[in-house]
A and B are shown apart, each in its own frame.
Chain A
Amino acid sequence: MTALLQVRGLTVAFRTGGLAARLMGRPDRLEVVAGVDFDLAPGETMALVGESGSGKTTLARAVAGLGGEVGGEIGFAGKKLDLRRDGHRLRREIAFIFQDAISSLSPRFTVRSLIREPFRIHGLPCPEGEVERLLKLVGLSPEIADRHPHQLSGGQARRVGVARALTLKPRLVIADEPTAGLDVSVQSEVLNLLNALREELGLSLLIITHNLNVVRHVADRMAIMYLGRFVETGATARIFAGPRHPYTVALLSANPIIDPEARRARIDLEGEVPSLARRPQGCEFHGRCPFVQEDCRLRAPDLRVEADRGFTCHHPLRGEWT
């Protein structure tokens, strides 16, 4: 199957400081995403996992044509994309569900006008009954159409965000922390909805999350990010069964779970995530890695590909931490 989305050597940088910083010799741009490659097939779900500041949201926003100085190549449906030229068209094919559902909805609009807005922006007619159809699709009653965002619960606002993302029949939906701040009982409903829509409409999903319990159930593949790079990618089930990168192990084992028998051997990380302005030499994880060796400090590891997975580590783990 050909990929719907092809990302090659993607970098995203932001300008920082300005003149004063430059005069003082500080870097005036920060590379938040530093060279990322991946493919996403039609109907596939991929999860981007990582801690705050790992660049997962920035990466996803860049794919949707939102913000940052973007370098590298993005191919969509077989064509190379120029974000500047194709941005407007791209937004019809790639929809974004924002992390903070309520504040991503304009407080002065009703749900009806919020759902009609994408049609207006793209100069398309909104078919009769479309708002009601979309609300029904995401499991909301049509009466909600006349409410304002502040009259919605967190789960309802999230569903309106999903309905809005689906208005123009996109082929790729990017969801930034679709369940953050939702209660467990509501969280399942939103995830089931995204999955049902993926099956029904053949959407590809790119889900950004730090919730590993969710990733395990919804994603075909996952990528673990650290300092703006993928440190490990592969099929979700295989990564959970046998992580190769020490950071993946640390992340998976930092997930508090109830069942004492299901708990993993834990790797505690020392120190904090280094600053993007001062990336460590050698392997960027070496300062916090419990298995660090001499060559890790000197040489950055290349991406190693084994079967359908990749990882960047000189001394990958071999199933001893499952």
Chain B
Amino acid sequence: MTRSRDPVLSVEGLSLSYDTPNGELLALRDVNLTIGPGEIVGLVGESGSGKSSLMQAILQLMPAAARVTGGRILFEGRDLVQLGPHGMSGLLGDRISVVFQDPMTSLNPVLTIGRQMIDIQHRRPESRAAKRRRAVEMLRRVRIPDVESRIDRYPHEFSGGMRQRIAIAMALMAEPALLVADEPTTALDATLEIATIKLLRELQQEIGCAILFITHHLGVVAELCDRIDIMYAGELVESGPVMPVFRDPRHPYTQLLFACDPAQIREATRHLPAIGGGLPDLIDLPQGCIFAPRCPRADQTCRRLHPADRPAGRSELVRCHYPDAPRLEVAR
């Protein structure tokens, strides 16, 4: 995929800390990420990797203890860090929309779906009837059955899968340039998850918005996304086009993560591989590469020097001293 066009979103050298009683927790460190127009980018990472912190920074919905200590987040020419939560309110729900893991985060339980879908169009100079027609049309597009009879019902009268589709419909009503989707299918059953992913892809193609899809499910990334970005312990360690990265990952963490995924192991086995070790302490960071304490390939250089971002293979960014070393296998 060519990346010559101006990106919709570009996160440049972003660092973010939390003030905690035990000291400054360095949750994000020098994160670089770009999303091109109409691209679907999968942001992958395990718990504690910083993917939620990054999302909150992009949406400027950070907890009070969070502080951006460096870098910028450019969206359509504006720095969202400078804009802050107040300036952001003009963009959210208009140019940038969000779908959360639990659809009830964005649905108001005491208002009907119809009322909420009309309210969200408050920026449009149209009549209420026209807005209602648009709402009906959008609900139909996310395949809510018998829309006319259901639009005046409350969120609790819909099933979990339908609520998530309604949340997606609301997020896309404004035809945003960027949709941020935070694990939108994690709480859904397998058959609904697949249907929701298919729906997202179709709608994205119609509307043409870019999507930042946050998940820990590698299979979903493979089926939905154009690009994959992998985070580990507060750093973005690898970024590139989806299938090439799956075929030839260059960062040792990416290699081990893929090798540990039971879905990736074709032969049935009773003993599944694991990475071993745990996340580093983000208050008292180890010197050198953040993955060095768990990396089977780490040497003196890795333990002393923090690696720079460099391209390797088809990956555009790999934060490793030895991205061209032979692929790591995990011991079974």
Contacts and interface: CB of A to CB of B under 8 A. Distances in A.
B195 interface: yes
Contact of B191 (A188, A251, A260): A251
B278 to A, nearest CB: 7
A257 interface: yes
B270 A195 contact: yes
Given A183-B46, A185-B257, A257 B263 contact: yes
A154 B47 contact: yes
A305 interface: no
A254 B193 contact: yes
A230 to B, nearest CB: 18
A267 to B, nearest CB: 9
Contact of B47 (A183, A255, A256): A183
Q: How large is the interface on B (under 10, 10 to 19, 20 to 34, 35 or more residues)?
A: 35 or more
B194 A268 contact: yes
Given A216-B268, A217-B270, A188 B194 contact: no
Interface in A206-249: 210-214, 216-218, 236-237
A266 B191 CA distance: 10
A184 B191 contact: no
A217 B268 CA distance: 5
Nearest to A259: B264
A116 B61 CA distance: 44
Contact of B189 (A52, A154, A186, A260): A52
A256 B189 contact: no
Contacts of A255: 190, 219, 263
B297 to A, nearest CB: 17
A251 B190 CA distance: 7
Nearest to A155: B278
A16 to B, nearest CB: 17
A140 interface: no
B330 to A, nearest CB: 9
Given A51-B189, A154-B47, A255-B190, A186 B274 contact: yes
Contacts of A216: 262, 268
B201 interface: no
Interface string B265-288: 110111111110010000000000
A192 B191 CA distance: 27
A188 B266 contact: no
A258 B262 contact: no
Contacts of B161: 272
Interface residues of A, number: 39
Contact of B269 (A153, A184, A210, A217): A217
Interface in A150-208: 153-154, 183-189, 191-192, 195
Given A154-B47, A250-B191, A192 B263 contact: no
A268 B191 CA distance: 7
A52 to B, nearest CB: 6
Contacts of A272: 159, 161-162
Contact of A213 (B162, B197, B262, B273): B262
B191 A256 contact: no
Contacts of B262: 184, 187-188, 191, 211, 213-214, 216-217
A269 interface: yes
B261 interface: yes
A213 B47 contact: no
Contacts of B278: 153
A20 interface: no
B190 A51 contact: yes
B272 to A, nearest CB: 4
Given A153-B278, A185-B46, A256 B270 contact: no
A192 B268 contact: no
Contacts of B191: 51, 250-251, 254, 268-269
Interface of B: 46-47, 145, 159-162, 189-191, 193-195, 197-198, 216-223, 243, 246, 256-258, 260-266, 268-275, 278
Interface of A: 51-52, 153-154, 183-189, 191-192, 195, 210-214, 216-218, 236-237, 250-251, 254-260, 262, 266, 268-269, 271-272
7 contacts: A52-B160, A183-B216, A184-B46, A185-B256, A237-B268, A259-B264, A260-B243
